[in-house]
Structure 1
Amino acid sequence: MSDLLLTGATWYAEDGTATTGDVHLRDGAVAGTGRTDAPKGTETIDADGLVLLPGLVDLHTHLREPGREDAETILTGTRAAAVGGYTAVLAMANTTPVTDTAEAAERVLDLGRAAGYADVVPVGAVSKGLEGAELAELGLMHRSRAQVNVFSDDGHCVADGRLMRRALEYVRAFGGVVSQHSQDPSLAGPQACCHEGELSGRLGLPGWPSVAESTVIARDAMLAEHTSSRVHVAHVSTAEGLDVIRWAKARGIRVTAEVTPHHLALGTDLLTGYDPVFKVNPPLRPTEDQEALREGLLDGTIDAVATDHAPHARHDKEHAFVDAAFGMLGLETAFSVVHDLLVADGRLGWADLARVMSVGPARIAGLVDHGRPVAEGEPANLVLVDPAATVTVDRAATQSLSRNTPWHGRSLTGAVHTTILRGRVTARGGEPTTC
């Protein structure tokens, strides 16, 4: 038997009720809480002053393997995930080859299991080769060992309404969900890299209008209603898109949505220096959009925080802004950013933080062993966080192979202390353990 005792931790029920006490973990599950009968000599972690949460779940991670192991591997990406408090990550399909077959999905699953730092859940492509022309093997991927339940052409919008309708009809049969990159390519254009407005004109950068996002969300919501299926809005970035999601939910349509830490906390003013680290897809938005997204997260319109962790090698990122690759690192900093922005000042409670960074994402993805309460018999996928700690982000110290973090040099309040996957410590004090 493997035993671990967390002493003096504080955890929260879904209704916000707090409990402080000991938590005994045995053989990958919670063996007891409060006064426990852990055997003599049990490894102990002093959790006094720490908050115990269900392990974080990321709905949107780019691990780059196979195909771009110079930017990230499943091993390095999941080490970063463990340091960031994640026990499960959903690996996006835009690899080389694309995850559009059962065999490709099983390969990603096996690489994740071999790494051992987090559960790696493959996301299947909606279309073959991400080309938006023909459906990928949705059913075969779902019935494979990988049991794929989430499908996305992320990086590309499923722009063809007929193909999107067929995908929604197909996944409805097994309770799957299509995660859409909401970008009308005819409105945003292939070179769009900056929010369309006064700033894009002044900087001479091709603009991406808010309507390119909101019109796709509206179409997909109506298709989800028509097919009685589920659609998930990836990385919503505009107040206009949020309004459509709010309308769809009020109508009873089965739509969920995620927001990234960088769209919550970073704005278009950062683009004035043309630093390509701030080039992301969808682009950073003005203050009014950031504020709307924060309110949407607080009022429950947005269901989850997802990192859109997008590592890039230096030779892909260090270019003129318009030519640089899209994307930012996110796994190691997401908790601290959200805590610093919304929890430290009391706007987001601990139970709600768990809801948007663990419980909600796990439910959307259908992960039954993650996002679970701290209670006897539940899986021991957990994270201890220190609300009082301050972390200064150093890109040179990241576990990722890439260095494109937008948070370099920033000091954030709140840090991950210890990450636990099935009762085993995978990261402690900002460093991964030996798996």
Structure 2
Amino acid sequence: MNAAVSTTTAVPVVLIRGGRPYGEDVADLLLEGGEITAVGADLEAPADAEVVDADGCIVLPGLVDLHTHLREPGGEEAETVETGTRAAARGGYTAVHAMANTTPTADTAGVVEQVASQGETAGWCTVRPVGAVTVGLQGERLAELDAMASSRARVRVFSDDGKCVHDPVLMRRALEYVKSFDGVIAQHAQDPRLTEGAQMHEGVVSAELGLAGWPAVAEESIIARDVLLAQHVGSRLHVCHLSTAGSVDIIRWAKQRGIEVTAEVTPHHLLLTDEEVRGFDAVFKVNPPLRTAADVEAVRAGLADGTIDIVATDHAPHPRDAKDREWDQAAMGMTGLETALSLVQATMVDEGRLSWRDVARVMSEKPAEIGRDEDQGRPLEPGSPAHVLVWDPRPSQPVDPAEHASRSRNSPVAGRELPGRNRLTVHAGRITVRDGALAGA
């Protein structure tokens, strides 16, 4: 038996005692046979149940990440499906969508089926592959969208993330094509001509540091074009890692017009600004770049009022030598799976901008809806699959990437004191995490 499968095999019955589902009234949850079978006060524990004391804890549906880089195949020095899903489980995730920028690219049915199969073997959480929009992410011709959609992996999200589908004709064709199977195009909004050689957000800090600037309009112009294309063809568009105040305004305008567009923000764009770049620590080099304090305020407000639909990590692991070099030579990206909920708690819940029920919406229910994950993000009620997170919001501790399950250590919040601790992750009725540690590992 695969080692990961054996460590995630749980007792068949779990009683979560005295937690607060969605941060509201105290209730017990009984999990049996991979389902929630009862919710209520003072439930009787079956003789064979593992009883989990959740006093003072928040109980949520398992988190769903629509934007994860697992790097396998081809980038195993940074992450594998096994290590990435371990990190996801520790962060409270029961499903992740694995981006297509692998080697070979996930642009065929064979590659996406391989990734999904590796996720099943690992067993720590559900892995839903994201298919590439174009062959090899080259932006020249459409990939095998229908073949990936009809494969065993049932791909519904397609993205060239890391690269923008810049050709408007190709983007229109992709939006038209995925309508037939209710797919969605997730766009990496970055005009390549406006960001040639760009190293950080274009503004006061970039000018003072002498680094080539990455203008906000490079993101905003692509989003504006794409929402109009989505309106024209009547298709679903999802905007990846939105980062500017102007982008929030465009999404808000599009939704007011009834355009079928959704958007995500990353945890690091809810917290960090371009001021971090002053130390030239390449851990803060990311795509899109860290923006201004005004942009951070705008994306927080957009998430709070529902303009931005979800939080997605854009977990982008890199080996040490890819980050430990001169700024202009360093890779872009940050890890995020194991700290995402703490960052959302710190920036949104503890600041009174989101309730815990809102957190369930933006980190579980809505991501599952966008990705068409039928068994994820379901209500905490009898009959729902047993994908559950028990989160203790009270403790706080400094982030130590050396303790993370991810193979990479490029966390932008290393050493920061963050709130909350994962008490329990349950995936399909199996306990994967107990008190912050991988179950049985």
TM-score range, shorter chain: over 0.9
Partner of 2:345: 339
Aligned equivalents of 1:414, 1:185: Cα separation in 2: 39
Uncovered stretches (5+) of structure 2, i.e. residues with no partner: 1-10
- Structure 2 residue corresponding to 1:98, chosen from 99, 105, 110: 105
Three-state SS of the structure 2 residue aligned to 1:19 is coil
Partner of 2:49: 42
**Where do residues 33-432 of structure 1 align in structure 2 (5 Å cutoff)?**
33-34=39-40, 35-189=42-196, 191-432=197-438
Three-state SS of the structure 1 residue aligned to 2:26 is strand
Aligned equivalents of 2:75, 2:274: Cα separation in 1: 29
Three-state SS of the structure 1 residue aligned to 2:181 is coil
Is the CA contact (8 Å cut-off) linking 2:45 and 2:51 kept in structure 1?
A: no
Aligned equivalents of 1:41, 1:158: Cα separation in 2: 53
- Structure 2 residue corresponding to 1:3, chosen from 6, 10, 13: 13
Uncovered stretches (5+) of structure 1, i.e. residues with no partner: none
State the TM-score, normalized to the length of structure 2: 0.96
Is the CA contact (8 Å cut-off) linking 1:100 and 1:128 kept in structure 2?
A: yes
Deviation at 1:37, TM superposition (A): 4.3
Is the CA contact (8 Å cut-off) linking 1:381 and 1:422 kept in structure 2?
A: yes
Aligned equivalents of 2:106, 2:49: Cα separation in 1: 42
> C-alpha offsets along residues 206-226 of structure 1, whole Å, 9 cap, x if unaligned?
111011001100110011001
Deviation at 1:434, TM superposition (A): 3.4
Three-state SS of the structure 2 residue aligned to 1:258 is strand
Is the CA contact (8 Å cut-off) linking 2:85 and 2:125 kept in structure 1?
A: yes
Three-state SS of the structure 2 residue aligned to 1:188 is coil
Aligned equivalents of 1:65, 1:384: Cα separation in 2: 29
Is the CA contact (8 Å cut-off) linking 1:183 and 1:213 kept in structure 2?
A: yes
> C-alpha offsets along residues 147-200 of structure 1, whole Å, 9 cap, x if unaligned?
0000000000000000000000000111100000000011111x2121111211
Aligned equivalents of 1:366, 1:175: Cα separation in 2: 9
Is the CA contact (8 Å cut-off) linking 1:3 and 1:38 kept in structure 2?
A: no
Three-state SS of the structure 2 residue aligned to 1:68 is coil
Aligned equivalents of 1:254, 1:346: Cα separation in 2: 29
Deviation at 1:417, TM superposition (A): 1.3
For the aligned residue pairs, the C-alpha RMSD in angstroms reads 1.1
Aligned equivalents of 1:250, 1:382: Cα separation in 2: 34
Aligned equivalents of 1:411, 1:198: Cα separation in 2: 28
> C-alpha offsets along residues 127-154 of structure 1, whole Å, 9 cap, x if unaligned?
0000000000000000000000000000
Three-state SS of the structure 2 residue aligned to 1:379 is coil
- Structure 2 residue corresponding to 1:27, chosen from 28, 33, 40: 33
The runs of 4+ residues in structure 1 deviating greater than 6 Å are none
Deviation at 1:36, TM superposition (A): 3.1
Deviation at 1:69, TM superposition (A): 0.5
State the TM-score, normalized to the length of structure 1: 0.97
Aligned equivalents of 1:46, 1:345: Cα separation in 2: 27
Which residue identity lines up with residue 437 of structure 2 in the other structure? E
Three-state SS of the structure 2 residue aligned to 1:45 is strand
Aligned equivalents of 1:178, 1:351: Cα separation in 2: 27
Three-state SS of the structure 2 residue aligned to 1:221 is helix
